[in-house]
Structure 1
Amino acid sequence: MQDFFRTAGADFTDTFKGAWIFPLLILCIIWILWQEKDRMKRLLTGILPLVFLFLYWCPLTGKLFMKILGENVYWRILWLILPAVTIPYAGCLLLGKVKGILRYGVFLAGLAVLALCGKKVLSEEWFAPSTNVYKLPQNVVAVCDLLPENIHALVSNRLMPYIRQYDPSITLEFGRNAMIYNGMEEPKDDSQILYLEAQKQEIDLEILAPLAKQRGCTFLIFSANRTYIGDWEAYGYKKYADTDEFCIFVDEDYQTGEDTRKWED
């Protein structure tokens, strides 16, 4: 129970932090329930958001959704609340209560409230100036420039969304869909075991390296702060190259120019 509320609370805070949209949303819901006379409109814009909030915080439904969706995407339940519908609709109800020049004043005040309660879309938290023509993180470009073409690789989750944008000749052992394995306590197959081991701060090469070999991962790329139990060369891999943020390892049997891709584009 505590784990559920810890996860739900962290996701809720991360979704609404840095803004006052949620308090504004609650005020708008109250206003709609008070002023809207049409039952269907009141249901859709006032009651339904409260229902989704209840489903989000209720441990019974919350654990069910976490099991179905995965803990990493549970926060998307909050998208169903639709503040972009509820808040403007409440504003329209308010505008309908005033007339003449006062309506323009209320409209401008509403815009000001939205601006002050929200946060910048193009904030430094999510956006950064482009440093290359590909508009990809520079650490991705630094890694890709060291890799040969036509290889199969197991890469850090930090690189996963970008590698094939830079070089589509590289195939990846895991895509973003593999993130559903995060938090899995009892992996059921070798693929899940390999993924979960690769996420650890201290990676046991006795577990990871044979599975990576078995699945044809020619190159392995991990964050530079990872530590390892065992010797890479004892399991058929060796250091290939480094960047400021990542370490690259290669299968000792790999021949320069060899095509090790699992599929062709």
Structure 2
Amino acid sequence: MINLIISQLKMSMDWLLQFNDEGLHFIVMFFALIYILLRKEEACHRRLFIGYSLIFTVVYFCPLTSWLITRTIGELVYWRMLWMMPLPVIIAYAMVKLWHRIKKKWIRAAFIGTFTGVMIVLGQFIYVENSPYETRANWEKIPTSPIAICDIVNANRGSEEEWAMLAAPEDMVPYIRVHDASIRQVYGRKGNYWMANKGGKYIESALQSEVTDYQTLCKKCRAIRCNYIVLPDGAGRVEGMAAYHFDVIGRVGSYIVFKDMDWSP
């Protein structure tokens, strides 16, 4: 029991530290809460912000509640609990109250400029090296690889009306759907791979496998009229697919795009 309590407390603290990283906005929020606590007027707002913050802190760090929550949503996403702390609202409320207490306009302007500068300095720029975030490269805000795959498929279609069904690895599927809904894919409406009796499940697993039975993969794709396949690059991929008349029509990063050269409308 003691080990479980310590483990849950450590997990909660680790996620808090990772969520905050090098930013110091939680410290600003702490001082904002102290200011709200010391204010005499507007007791209802004081109770709201202080009370909510205390309840959230207890729930977040309590080993029992954190254990129940992680069993429900998973430990890897427990950090999303921190989204429930209204950090921007608390800081903004305290700063607005401070601003209202200043009478002279030039001091108000200086206060706003100083506060903005402090928030920038204490924050962290997310578009840094090795960051999971990247600047928007297109209006749809999706990775460039699925867009390139769609472009390759469309460039090899005889016309826009020509049938195109694509079997792609699961991490590509939603982005391809967003970018070009005219390219059909071998998955169902709810995301599950359909036509299971015709090899849908086999295709799903084969697209992720390093060792592939090319004959079976090509046969099952043809059974559902799938004429484009995206596979991770690997030794023997090109030769294995070419043996069954699936030729390379393009490469995108570590993926190869194949087309069934025997396919006809």
Same fold flag (TM > 0.5): yes
* Contact persistence 2:166–2:186 (CA under 8 A): yes
**Aligned to 2:79, which of 75, 100, 107?**
75
Deviation string 1:11-34 (CA, Å, 9 cap, x unpaired) is 434432242212212221222222
Q: By how many angstroms is 1:75 displaced?
A: 2.6
Counterpart of 2:47 in structure 1 is 43
* Contact persistence 1:29–1:46 (CA under 8 A): yes
Structure 2 gaps of 5+ residues are 158-162, 192-199
Counterpart of 2:176 in structure 1 is 163
- Count of residue correspondences: 233
**In structure 2, do the counterparts of structure 1 residues 199 and 34 end up closer, same or farther at CA, with 3 Å as the change threshold?**
farther
Between the aligned partners of 1:72 and 1:251, the Cα distance in structure 2 is 38
Across the aligned residues of Structure 1 and Structure 2, the Cα RMSD in angstroms comes to 4.8
**In structure 2, do the counterparts of structure 1 residues 203 and 110 end up closer, same or farther at CA, with 3 Å as the change threshold?**
same
**TM-score of the superposition, structure 1-length normalised?**
0.61
* Contact persistence 1:134–1:166 (CA under 8 A): yes
Identity over aligned pairs, percent? 22
Q: List aligned pairs for 1:1-265, cutoff 5 A.
A: 1=4, 8-9=12-13, 11-35=15-39, 37-100=41-104, 102-120=107-125, 125=131, 126-128=133-135, 130=137, 136-147=142-153, 150-151=164-165, 153-157=167-171, 159-172=172-185, 218=226, 221=230, 223-224=232-233, 243-248=251-256, 256=263
**TM-score of the superposition, structure 2-length normalised?**
0.61
Structure 1 gaps of 5+ residues are 179-190, 259-265
Q: Which has the larger radius of gyration?
A: 2
**In structure 2, do the counterparts of structure 1 residues 163 and 106 end up closer, same or farther at CA, with 3 Å as the change threshold?**
same
Between the aligned partners of 1:112 and 1:58, the Cα distance in structure 2 is 35
Deviation string 1:6-59 (CA, Å, 9 cap, x unpaired) is 764554344322422122122212222222543431232233133223323333
* Contact persistence 2:164–2:183 (CA under 8 A): yes
**In structure 2, do the counterparts of structure 1 residues 142 and 6 end up closer, same or farther at CA, with 3 Å as the change threshold?**
farther
Between the aligned partners of 2:231 and 2:9, the Cα distance in structure 1 is 32
* Contact persistence 1:152–1:171 (CA under 8 A): yes
Between the aligned partners of 1:257 and 1:133, the Cα distance in structure 2 is 34
**In structure 2, do the counterparts of structure 1 residues 166 and 19 end up closer, same or farther at CA, with 3 Å as the change threshold?**
same
* Contact persistence 2:169–2:207 (CA under 8 A): no
* Contact persistence 2:207–2:231 (CA under 8 A): no
**In structure 2, do the counterparts of structure 1 residues 88 and 199 end up closer, same or farther at CA, with 3 Å as the change threshold?**
farther
* Contact persistence 1:152–1:217 (CA under 8 A): no
Q: Which amino acid counterpart does residue 113 of structure 2 have in structure 1? A: L
Between the aligned partners of 2:16 and 2:115, the Cα distance in structure 1 is 25
Q: In structure 2, the residue corresponding to 1:145 is in which secondary structure?
A: helix
